[in-house]
Amino acid sequence: MGHSEMLLAVAGLKQAEIKERTGKLAGGDWSDFPPAEQLAFRLGYQLTQNPAAFSDGDVRELVATFGSDRSLDLIWYAAWCNYMTRVADGFQLPLERENVFAEPK
């Protein structure tokens, strides 16, 4: 189970909702999401695929939409997730099979 799926489950989404949402996110067609979320997805994707292209204009766009503090959160979290993915990939660490964030049964 991927960490995105785990976090969506913790947020209360059912398995069918998680599958639908992750499919839309992975597919790159974010038109069903609100404009602010589309912006966050687009710039998060850009930070993942081509971080050197992330510009002052991108930061200004985030700040205009989310404010300074939330923009910092978004940039930091995208960078941190990319870092953790690269470390896990480098060590060839497998994803957990179970939701490690779920309440014990």
Per residue in 1-58, pLDDT (tens digit) is 477 888 898 899 999 999 999 999 888 889 999 999 999 999 999 999 999 999 999 9
Query: pTM value?
Result: 0.79
| Domain residue ranges in the chain | 3-90
Angle between helices 68-90 and 35-49 (to 10 degrees): 40
Per residue in 45-74, pLDDT (tens digit) is 999 999 999 999 999 999 999 999 999 999
Query: Whats the size of the chain, residue-wise?
Result: 105
